[in-house]
Amino acid sequence: MSIGIYVHIPFCKSKCKYCDFNSSDKLFDLEDGYVKALITEIESCEQLDKVDTVFIGGGTPTAIKTENLLKIINSITNHFNIDCAEFTVECNPATASYEDFVKLKNAGVNRISIGLQSANDEELAYLGRIHNYSMFENTYNDCVNAGIENINVDLIFSLHQQNLNKWKYTLDKVTKLKPTHISCYSLIIEEGTPFFNMEHQLPDEEADREMYNYTIDFLGQKGYKQYEISNFALDGYRCKHNIKYWQRANYLGFGCGACGMYEDVRTQNTYDIKEYINNNQVEKTAISKEDAMAEHIFLGLRLTEGFDIEEFNQRYGVNFIRKYSDIIDKFTKTGLMELDQNCKLTRKGVSVSNSIMCEFL
């Protein structure tokens, strides 16, 4: 079985007002030290499995010096047994040039994930983004011209004063560019972010669901099939790396705050950048069978195709249908869940996915 690799880059040019990811816009003086520590961590990993997905995320990987990013990429490709991998780098508009994309491509990167969030400049300003829509388009075109055609665009809906028409405008603009993959997240106001203490006029629950349902229909018509609650792809372009998370496959995590999972043992790195550089402590936790099963269901139900019931039974040595018969009955009778070879949520179920998933925990 092949494994995935996640690498965390905790730097951003500027902190967006809604974001609570582990990243800082103030610690660039630590960049070189961080890259050194990261490469040491990567190169001291004894792992013989083939690697078929690599995801360098953040933060903003393209916010660091390109030579540093290339050093990290080279350490991964030289150290591990990389086999036809999907190799993704996350990028923020206006943090990478055409030349940078050419260098990334030559180093083995074949997928770029660009955070756009909105095609409306006033929404971008409200979010605290460092770019406008036209800067995103330039970055997007630089990436295509450099020969990387597998591109994801991240979007956020249910924004302050947003209505369906404004969201339609964003979806329309983005689909015209024909990226291979689009991720659409409903805004979460996270505690500890500037957004948490601001006044917002957010769409209500009904308007949020209207935007979400519109997204599924509109993107479907344009050839982007929904395959996960927030993810849509053209045929053949689902994100193989993220699918590993939802299927509880093995992956390694490098960098501050990164976690990994290998054979039901979770690894968690030191969260703080400085502490990570000075002395990364990897916390290892064995996942109990009950927790592993709950996770498998919780994550598997995020995928529109759900999870394979027989595979579940084999993996955990239980009978899924017998074990969870009461919950399954409740949700199949109300048309929220479907069972064939797989267990999956119906479209109606996806809208209330959180409450369904909680019942299995």
Ligand X SMILES: C[S@@+](CC[C@H](N)C(=O)[O-])C[C@H]1O[C@@H](n2cnc3c(N)ncnc32)[C@H](O)[C@@H]1O
Instruction: Kindly state the smallest distance separating residue 66's Cβ from ligand SF4, in Å.
Output: 17
104 binds, among ligand SF4, ligand X, none (CB under 5 to 8 A by kind): none
Provide the pairing of β-strand 265-268 with 259-262: antiparallel
190 binds ligand X (CB under 6 A): yes
> From the centroid of its chain, how far is CA 299?
13
Three-state secondary-structure class, residue 288: coil
Complex with ligand SF4: residue 124 or 328, whichever CB lies closer: 124
Candidate ranges 17-25, 77-85, 242-250, 251-259; the one touching ligand X (CB under 6 A):
17-25
Sign of CA dihedral 41, 7, 29, 142: positive
Q: Which of 5, 8, 60, 224 binds ligand SF4 (CB under 6 A)?
A: 60
Cα(147)–Cα(144) distance, integer angstroms: 5
The verdict on 58 binding ligand X (CB under 6 A) reads yes
Choice between 195 and 320, CB closer to ligand SF4: 195
Distances in whole angstroms, Cα of residue 229 to Cα of each of 199, 301, 303, 314, 322: 28, 9, 7, 26, 27
Q: Which of 5, 12, 148, 337 binds ligand SF4 (CB under 6 A)?
A: 12
- 28 binds ligand SF4, rule: CB under 6 A: no
Report yes or no: 276 and 269 within 8 Å, Cβ to Cβ.
yes
Reading the block at residue 218, the tokens are: 């509109």
Q: Note whether 270 binds ligand SF4 by CB under 6 A.
A: no
Binders of ligand SF4 among residues 70 to 99 (CB under 6 A) are 92
Tell me the β-bridge partners of 267.
260, 284
Overall size of the chain counted in residues: 361
Residue 186: helix, strand or coil by DSSP? strand
Count residues binding ligand SF4 (CB under 6 A).
Answer: 11
* Residue corresponding to tokens 């990261």: 38
| 21 makes contact with ligand SF4 (CB under 6 A) | yes
Q: Which residue is nearest to ligand X (CB)?
A: 115
| Interacting partner of 15 out of ligand SF4, ligand X, none (Cβ under 5 to 8 A depending on kind) | ligand SF4
131-160 residues near ligand X, rule: CB under 6 A: 154, 156
Site track for ligand X across 235-264, x = CB under 6 A: ------------------------------
Separation CA 93–CA 116 (nearest Å): 7
Q: Quick one: which of 143, 145, 213, 207 has its CA closest to 181?
A: 143
User: Among 124, 194, 181, 134, which Cα is nearest to 156's?
Assistant: 124
| 10 is an interface residue for ligand SF4 by CB under 6 A | no
Could you tell me which residues come within 8 angstroms of residue 78 by beta carbon, excluding any fewer than 6 positions away? none
- Tell me which of 4, 61, 115, 203 binds ligand SF4, using CB under 6 A: 115
Q: How far is the CB of 28 from ligand X (least distance, A)?
A: 15
> Which residue ranges make up the site for ligand X (CB under 6 A)?
18-19, 21, 57-58, 60, 90, 92, 115, 117, 154, 156, 185, 187-188, 190
> Which residue ranges make up the site for ligand SF4 (CB under 6 A)?
12, 15-16, 19, 21, 23, 58-60, 92, 115
